[in-house]
Amino acid sequence: MSTCSPVSTATPFDKLSAKDGQPFYDETLFQSIVGGLQYLTFTRPDIAFAVNKVSQFMHCPTDAHWSAVNRILHYVHATAHHGLFLSRQSNFLLHGYSDADWGGSIDDRKSTTGFAIYLGSNLISWVSRKQRFVSRSFTEAEYRAIATAFSEITWLRLLLHEIGLPISVHLLYGVII
């Protein structure tokens, strides 16, 4: 991968489906690479959505899914200098952002929830995962994403309170800030 061409985004432009393409020749290789990418999301939240999408096809990967994995690898190679920056500060405002892609999965029409939680300017928690149930509207998918983010903020607030940090949380217009 040292000579691969860089790409500006990790997510493929086309939505992936279980029926895309021909079966991939080496299922173990696919699972190994995607497993490694899942570990990388611990420090690279920018690839969480893309890795979540390809990991949904671990049981039966195709060449189209492998192309999506290659795109993620090209992005990681081009952005190897990216990472999390944690700064020292006295701002203990806990805030978050959430989003959902309504019916984003072609196969089962389930939405994907994503959120990012900050303590001051430091990103401390993030998720990209498929919702458990099919949402009947864009609004329902967004409310599920907000509820998921808010439950994470509530847990973090209680945890930080327990260790003695003064925390404030604000909710405005359905976006947790």
pLDDT per residue as tens, the chain (177 positions)? 667 788 888 887 678 888 888 999 999 999 999 999 999 998 899 998 899 889 999 999 999 999 999 999 999 999 988 888 888 876 778 888 998 988 888 788 899 898 999 888 889 999 988 899 999 898 999 999 999 999 999 999 889 889 888 777 655 444 444
Task: Tally Cβ neighbours within 10 Å of residue 37.
Answer: 22
Q: What angle do CA 116, 120, 126 make, to 5 degrees?
A: 15
Q: Measure the CA–CA gap between 6 and 76, rounded to whole angstroms.
A: 9
- How far is residue 163's CA from residue 65's CA, in Å, rounded to a whole number? 44
pTM: 0.76
List, in sequence order, every beta strand (DSSP E) within the chain: 93-101, 112-119, 122-130, 168-169, 171-172, 175-176
Task: Give Cα separations from 108 to 1, 9, 130 (angstroms).
Answer: 34, 25, 10
**Tokens of residue 162, six digits:** 């327990």
**Domains of the chain with CATH codes:** 1-83 (no CATH), 93-176 (3.30.420.10)
